[in-house]
Amino acid sequence: MMKILFLVVCNVLLICSYENCPVEERQNVNYSSCSLTSVPRSLPLYTVLLDLSHNNISQLKRDDFSEMPALKFLNLSHNNIKEISDDIFKSSMKLEYLNLSHNELYNIFLVHVTELKNLDISYNKFALMTLGSVFGSMEKLECLSLSAETLQRHELKHIKSVWLKNVFLGFNNLLDYEHEKTDTITIVLKSKYCIDYLKYKRDCYVGVALLQRKANFKVTSLTLIDVRLPWNYLTKQTLQSSIKHLNVHYLNIIGQIVTTKISKNTSLETLKINRGTIYSYFFLQNDLYDFFINMMIKNLTIDNTPIVHMTCPQSTSILKQLDFSSNAFSDRVFSSIEEPICKTLTNLNTLILMGNKLEKLHQLSVTTKYMKSLKYLDVSANSLTYEFGDCTWTESIIVLNVSSNSLDRLVFKCLPQNTQILDLQNNQIASVPEDMVHLDALKELYLGSNRLLDIPDCNSFRKLEMLFTDANSLHTPSINFLSSCKNLRVFHAGNNPFMCTCSLRDFAMIKEQSGIEFIGWPDAYSCSYPEAFRGIFLKDFHVPEMSCNLTLLLVTILCPMIVITIAIAVLCIHYDALWYMKMMWQWTQTKRRAKASRRQETPEGLKYNAFVSYSQLDSIWVKEYLLPNLEEDKSVQICQHERDFIPGKSIIENIISCIEKSYKSIFVLSPNFIQSEWCHYELYFAHHQLLTANSDHLILILLEPISQYMIPSKYYKLKALMAKRTYIEWPKDRNKHKLFWANLRAAIQIHLAGPVEGTAESKL
Ligand SMILES: *[C@@H]1O[C@H](CO)[C@@H](O)[C@H](O)[C@H]1NC(C)=O
Ligand SMILES: *[C@@H]1O[C@H](CO)[C@@H](O)[C@H](O)[C@H]1NC(C)=O
Ligand SMILES: *[C@@H]1O[C@H](CO)[C@@H](O)[C@H](O)[C@H]1NC(C)=O
């Protein structure tokens, strides 16, 4: 048994009546796909729509719907219903839509359904479709879906007076269809007899018998699905019928294809062939093409069919719309060797060549040259490119769809100049050149899914109202376009990789300031970089004025910094911070050095921490300040010549022995010292080369400033020491004395190994 595979719905009417009922009264109950085995009890009293499709209900009981007086839509499709009680809908007086398709019904007998507009009983087990006299009461029926093995002649006689808007028929064997009052019929035929065309029976194309019906046959639209038609049947009967719109899906043309004379008298206006195939191997291509293109019809669609070419009509054609979507057309669409440009399609209004194999935009412009009525051209989803050459577009083109091709920026030099709507989506355009064709009528420009780095200005299309630049490479688009795009109302720049930095601030704000409608705002506008801002919507992206405005930044950040710096400098000078810093530095240095030398062995034979030498004139300072302060720490031993010199030795011998026994030598420098004492030491220093080899041992305290010129030139070593500034100055400020002494103490700090008692004794 053949299965009929076609799902039938007539929901146009359903939607409008459904919309009419006030929202608050609506009661929709959806039990679709709930594995129910029977109609649920206690459904809401005011249920209007009840969906019980895709369950396992096998039986409907007498009172299943008795408590639903408001029920209008009942969907029972895809169940296992075998039987229905006659008066099951006796309380559902309002039922308008009843879907019983895809069940196991062998028979049907319905009463009390006088309001029914839409009845679907297709795909059941009816062997013979017999619509009893009860159907006569369904005066409001508009949509009827039936299927069975066979539909008997006169079967629809009971609903003869009903005007059917939509009829769907699915039969293995359709002997005849006799219902004059029908607008549109869809017929699904699938018969085993048709597989082998050599043995085909009339039954296979019986649906087409409708085409040649009597004069009062009113069907205007016929859809045939999956049919095999012999070429001569298709070409003759089709044109002679009263049908206006013929759609054929899965058309298989059988029989021999021959040159066909075209009848001028036809009611056919629209012919749509979808997925056509030809079961004939030897024929002239032009016999096939010439027939279709020369038919006296207005709309011709041949899609999803592997044709590569179409011929040019022999005389001026009345064709208004040609749709050759998803075929295999190459650039030479209507041209031939004899006639390179087709001149007879002058009434053509719409040409759709979407999804073919067109490659040259320039060639396409030549094709349209004489199509003086062509307004709408769709060549999307081809492989079009343009490099150079004059383009000869017909000036009538208003809508041009070249989306999903391989065009780059040069396309702007080859465009029909009166275009109002231009779709260039999904190409390779990186920018819009300045020297492009002026499109003074352009209102809508779609540039989504290209490679734009910035938003183009409207200098070449000043009337632009809608601009789409979504899904490009806009990082930080400028807002310069606003000045030339004065008429812009709708704008789309979503799904771009926005870089949320200062440069984007102006752009993020135009939404608020310009009054332009932003498509996709705010969801489609989010930051991609920097990482910290990723995913943040542009509407929430705020950077403070200050971090973006350089002048403001300078004023607000640099000014306080300068003020603070000056203040610090003033304070430093006032409190002599430099001096403190220098002292601290020296102190830490000596501490570090002391630590390092402590690790070494303490030199043998040291008796004193320091030897102090000074001019007699400075002795008061030494005695009152230096000694008490240094010796405050009891472990410090100072060799002072007045106190510790050994009698009997010469002064110089004493000094030398004292220096040798001391860890450091402190010289209290002052003009007096230089004049009176320095010469004593010069000798020794010269002898021991102390100044050069071990100037570490030397601590020079500058008690009073000494200018370079006061030092006699023969004391060049002292000059050198002074020039190197390796002395420490005695501060006049009392506050600094503490640090001065601490520093000095640290400099002479050493653990004396030798017996200091001797000195202590001598002290005593
Ligand atoms: C009824 O169910 C079928 C199958 O699920 C579905 O195609 C149809 O749209 C439904 N009709 C209504 C009115 O919900
Ligand atoms: C025929 O083509 C025109 C455009 O040229 C269109 O407006 C009309 O809807 C088409 N008719 C049918 C039935 O497709
Ligand atoms: C252009 O064609 C594509 C399909 O190929 C369609 O999605 C798009 O909406 C069309 N553009 C216009 C402006 O009609």
What pLDDT is attached to residue 370? 96
Contact (CB, 8 A) for 251 and 275:
yes
Q: Report the alpha-carbon distance of residue 449 to residue 453 in Å, rounded.
A: 12
385 pocket-lining for ligand 1 (C-beta < 6 Å): no
Atom of ligand 2 nearest to the CA of 299: 1
Q: Report the alpha-carbon distance of residue 266 to residue 248 in Å, rounded.
A: 18
Examine the fold and report which residue of 164, 190, 216 is the final residue of a domain before the chain moves on: 190
Q: 524 is in which domain, residue-wise? A: 456-543
Query: 140 and 83 in one domain?
Result: yes
Which of 324, 350, 351, 378 for a ligand 3 pocket mutation test, highest count of atoms within 8 Å of Cβ? Answer: 378
Q: What is the mean pLDDT of the chain?
A: 81
Q: Is residue 143 part of a domain?
A: yes
272 pocket-lining for ligand 2 (C-beta < 6 Å): no
Query: 563 and 495 in one domain?
Result: no
Residue 220 CA: which ligand is closest?
Answer: 2
Examine the fold and report which residue of 190, 224, 241 is the final residue of a domain before the chain moves on: 190
Q: Is residue 263 part of a domain?
A: no
Confidence of residue 650 (pLDDT cuts 50, 70, 90): confident
Residue 58 belongs to domain with CATH number: 3.80.10.10
Q: Is residue 251 part of a domain?
A: no
Confidence of residue 349 (pLDDT cuts 50, 70, 90): very high
- What letter represents residue 633's amino acid? D
Whether 316 shows a pLDDT value over 50: the answer reads: yes
Beta-bridge mates of residue 243:
none
pLDDT tens sequence across 379-410: 999 999 999 989 999 999 999 999 999 999 99
Q: Residue 158 corresponds to which tokens in the numbers above?
A: 């009971």
What pLDDT is attached to residue 509? 85
Query: 522 and 569 in one domain?
Result: no
350 pocket-lining for ligand 2 (C-beta < 6 Å): yes
Q: Which of 34-38, 73-77, 169-173 has the lowest mean pLDDT?
A: 169-173
Query: 157 and 62 in one domain?
Result: yes
Confidence of residue 196 (pLDDT cuts 50, 70, 90): very low
Residue entry with tokens 């039954």: 203
Determine the distance separating the centroid of ligand 2 and the alpha carbon of 527, expressed in angstroms.
44
Highest mean pLDDT: which range of 32-36, 217-221, 583-587: 32-36
Q: Mapped to the 3 state alphabet, what secondary structure does 377-405 carry?
A: EECCCCCCECCCCCCCCCCCCCEEECCCC
365 pocket-lining for ligand 1 (C-beta < 6 Å): no
31 pocket-lining for ligand 1 (C-beta < 6 Å): no
The Cβ-side half-sphere exposure at 653, using a 13 Å CA radius, reads 5
In this structure, which residue's CA is closest to atom 6 in ligand 2?
321
Highest mean pLDDT: which range of 184-188, 206-210, 669-673: 669-673
Q: Report the alpha-carbon distance of residue 308 to residue 576 in Å, rounded.
A: 96
pLDDT tens sequence across 737-751: 888 888 888 888 777
Query: 516 and 475 in one domain?
Result: yes
Query: 163 and 35 in one domain?
Result: yes
101 pocket-lining for ligand 1 (C-beta < 6 Å): no
Which of 358, 425, 444, 445 for a ligand 3 pocket mutation test, highest count of atoms within 8 Å of Cβ? Answer: 425
Query: 303 and 181 in one domain?
Result: no
Confidence of residue 201 (pLDDT cuts 50, 70, 90): very low
Q: Report the alpha-carbon distance of residue 646 to residue 510 in Å, rounded.
A: 96
pLDDT tens sequence across 39-72: 988 788 888 999 999 999 998 888 888 888 889 9
Q: Mapped to the 3 state alphabet, what secondary structure does 236-289 carry?
A: HHHHHCCCCEEEEEEEEEECCCCCCCCCCCCCCCEEEEECCEECCCCCCHHHHH
235 pocket-lining for ligand 1 (C-beta < 6 Å): no
The strand pair at 608-613 and 517-518 is best described as unpaired
- What letter represents residue 107's amino acid? N
Query: 429 and 470 in one domain?
Result: no
pLDDT tens sequence across 428-456: 999 999 999 999 999 999 999 999 999 99
Q: Is residue 276 part of a domain?
A: no
Q: Is residue 160 part of a domain?
A: yes
Could you give phi then psi for residue 679, rounded to 5 degrees?
Answer: -55, -30
DSSP at 479: S
Percent of the chain whose predicted confidence (pLDDT) is above 90? 33
Q: Is residue 416 part of a domain?
A: yes
Query: 566 and 531 in one domain?
Result: no
DSSP at 360: B
What pLDDT is attached to residue 125? 84
In this structure, which residue's CA is closest to atom 4 in ligand 3?
380
349 pocket-lining for ligand 2 (C-beta < 6 Å): yes
By residue count, the chain amounts to: 764
401 pocket-lining for ligand 3 (C-beta < 6 Å): yes
Whether 154 shows a pLDDT value over 80: the answer reads: no
Atom of ligand 3 nearest to the CA of 444: 13
Could you give phi then psi for residue 546, rounded to 5 degrees?
Answer: -65, -45
> What's the number of domains the chain is made of?
5
What pLDDT is attached to residue 406? 97
The Cβ-side half-sphere exposure at 430, using a 13 Å CA radius, reads 0
Determine the distance separating the centroid of ligand 3 and the alpha carbon of 399, expressed in angstroms.
10
Contact (CB, 8 A) for 272 and 297:
no
What pLDDT is attached to residue 444? 97
Whether 11 shows a pLDDT value over 80: the answer reads: no
Query: 628 and 582 in one domain?
Result: no
What pLDDT is attached to residue 195? 36
Burial class (CB in 10 A: 0-12, 13-18, 19+), 497: middle
Q: Is residue 246 part of a domain?
A: no
Burial class (CB in 10 A: 0-12, 13-18, 19+), 119: buried
Q: Residue 223 corresponds to which tokens in the numbers above?
A: 């859809």
Atom of ligand 1 nearest to the CA of 32: 5
Query: 179 and 52 in one domain?
Result: yes
Residue 448 CA: which ligand is closest?
Answer: 3
pLDDT (mean) for 96-104: 93
Q: Which of 117-131, 157-171, 584-598 has the lowest mean pLDDT?
A: 157-171
In this structure, which residue's CA is closest to atom 3 in ligand 2?
321
pLDDT tens sequence across 134-151: 677 788 888 888 877 766
What pLDDT is attached to residue 622? 85
Could you give phi then psi for residue 258, rounded to 5 degrees?
Answer: -130, 165
9 pocket-lining for ligand 1 (C-beta < 6 Å): yes
Measuring CA to CA, how many Å separate 462 from each of 221, 273, 399, 467? 45, 42, 17, 12
Contact (CB, 8 A) for 133 and 109:
no
pLDDT tens sequence across 652-675: 777 777 777 888 888 888 888 777
Contact (CB, 8 A) for 129 and 153:
no
Determine the distance separating the centroid of ligand 3 and the alpha carbon of 423, expressed in angstroms.
7
Query: 511 and 363 in one domain?
Result: no
Residue 373 CA: which ligand is closest?
Answer: 2
Residue 688 belongs to domain with CATH number: 3.40.50.10140
Region of 88 (left: φ > 0; alpha: ψ -120 to 50; beta: rest) is alpha
Query: Of residues 215 and 654, which shows the higher confidence score?
Result: 654
What pLDDT is attached to residue 91? 85
The set of residues, in sequence order, having a beta carbon less than 8 Å from that of 568 and lying 6+ positions away, is none
In this structure, which residue's CA is closest to atom 7 in ligand 2?
321
pLDDT tens sequence across 236-293: 877 777 778 888 888 888 888 888 888 788 888 999 999 999 887 788 888 999 999 9
In this structure, which residue's CA is closest to atom 5 in ligand 1?
53
**DSSP helix/strand/coil, 63:** coil
- The secondary element (H helix, E strand) that includes residue 97 is strand 97-99
73 pocket-lining for ligand 1 (C-beta < 6 Å): yes
What pLDDT is attached to residue 1? 32
Percent of the chain whose predicted confidence (pLDDT) is above 70? 80
Which of 7, 31, 53 for a ligand 1 pocket mutation test, highest count of atoms within 8 Å of Cβ? Answer: 53
Atom of ligand 3 nearest to the CA of 355: 5
pLDDT tens sequence across 692-734: 445 567 788 888 887 777 777 777 777 777 777 667 888 888 8
Q: Residue 701 corresponds to which tokens in the numbers above?
A: 């305290």
The set of residues, in sequence order, having a beta carbon less than 8 Å from that of 739 and lying 6+ positions away, is 580, 583, 584, 587
Examine the fold and report which residue of 156, 190, 224 is the final residue of a domain before the chain moves on: 190
What pLDDT is attached to residue 584? 81
Q: Is residue 330 part of a domain?
A: yes
pLDDT (mean) for 562-569: 90
